[in-house]
Amino acid sequence: MTLFARAKSWLPATAKLAAGVTVTYARGGTAATVSALQGRTVFASVQEGGPRIEFGDRDYLILAADLILFGEPAIGDRVTDGGEVYEVLTPGTGEPAWRWSDPAHISYRIHTKRVQ
């Protein structure tokens, strides 16, 4: 394994330890406590003849290995963060509810919207 390859797998886990917050990830009646990085993706919507609207609530970067119990994130899953509840959803721009956050497919970038 090259030094670069080792660094690609080391960086997401190290960032999680340094800046991660503890959240609860839930699907149905199953829940797990995981560490996540908070983020935000800004999406834009432009209606013909109308103003440009930018939006985006909160993204969570979570290691795929931490969600092994659930598999890939799914629409309707919930993330509880500091008493606030966020639901996994598509932003409505053709973007999926989640995407890989890195080329090595180590962590998910999960799009959410606050629901409580």
Inform me whether the pLDDT recorded for 72 exceeds 50: yes
Total domains in the fold of the chain: 1
Residues 6+ apart with CB under 8 A from 50: none
Q: Which domain holds residue 25?
A: 3-114
What is the C-alpha separation between 27 and 34, in angstroms, rounded?
A: 13
pLDDT score recorded for residue 7: 53
How sure is the predictor about 62, in pLDDT bands with cuts at 50, 70 and 90? very high
pLDDT digits (tens, 9 = 90+) for 80-103: 999 999 999 987 767 899 999 888
3-class DSSP state of 96: coil
pLDDT in tens, 2-37: 665 555 555 555 555 555 899 999 999 999 999 999
**Closest among 78, 75, 8 to 36, alpha carbons compared:** 78
